[in-house]
Structure 1
């Protein structure tokens, strides 16, 4: 078999899965329930964030919080301050691609 196959979780439990983490790309799958989120941090690469379901609440640099619904793709530049959260009742599911893959 030439291809590699990866399975993503399908439930509503909070999870942060590092699906592909190699020298080319970091591909993550996240499921966040109400009030779940990530600590404030700076992006360590270009970040492509797809909202698969739910509504993303995010602060970038010094901007006010914005909310994005399912079907939205955000392109976030390297070294951007980020605070990612789910402030809504519905489960939030994200696909995050970091390209190029961060060195550290």
Structure 2
């Protein structure tokens, strides 16, 4: 078998899973219920964020919180302060790609 297969969790519970972490890319799958999200942090690579379900509420650097609906794809620069969360009743599901892969 040439390909390697990764499976995402199918759930309605809070989920943050690192599906692929190699020297090329970090590929994450996240699910957040209302009032859930990530701790405020700085991006450690260029981040590409795709909203699969729900509405993403995100504050970047010192901007006001912006909201992005299903189908939105964001490109967030390296070293950007991020405050990611779900402020809505509907489940938020995201794919996050960090490219190039962060180095420690």
Q: TM-score range by the shorter chain?
A: over 0.9
Could you tell me how far apart the structure 2 residues matched to 1:42 and 1:73 are?
Answer: 19
Could you tell me how far apart the structure 2 residues matched to 1:40 and 1:9 are?
Answer: 24
Number of paired residues? 104
Could you tell me how far apart the structure 1 residues matched to 2:81 and 2:14 are?
Answer: 23
TM-score between the two structures when normalised by the length of structure 2: 0.99
RMSD value, Cα = 0.4
* Equivalent residue number for residue 81 of structure 1: 81
Could you tell me how far apart the structure 2 residues matched to 1:9 and 1:83 are?
Answer: 23
Moved over 4 A (4+): none
Q: Which runs of 5 or more residues in structure 2 are unaligned?
A: none
Q: Which runs of 5 or more residues in structure 1 are unaligned?
A: none
Q: Deviations over 1:24-62 (max 9, x none)?
A: 100000000001010100000000000000000000000
* Equivalent residue number for residue 66 of structure 1: 66
Could you tell me how far apart the structure 1 residues matched to 2:45 and 2:64 are?
Answer: 22
Could you tell me how far apart the structure 1 residues matched to 2:19 and 2:74 are?
Answer: 19
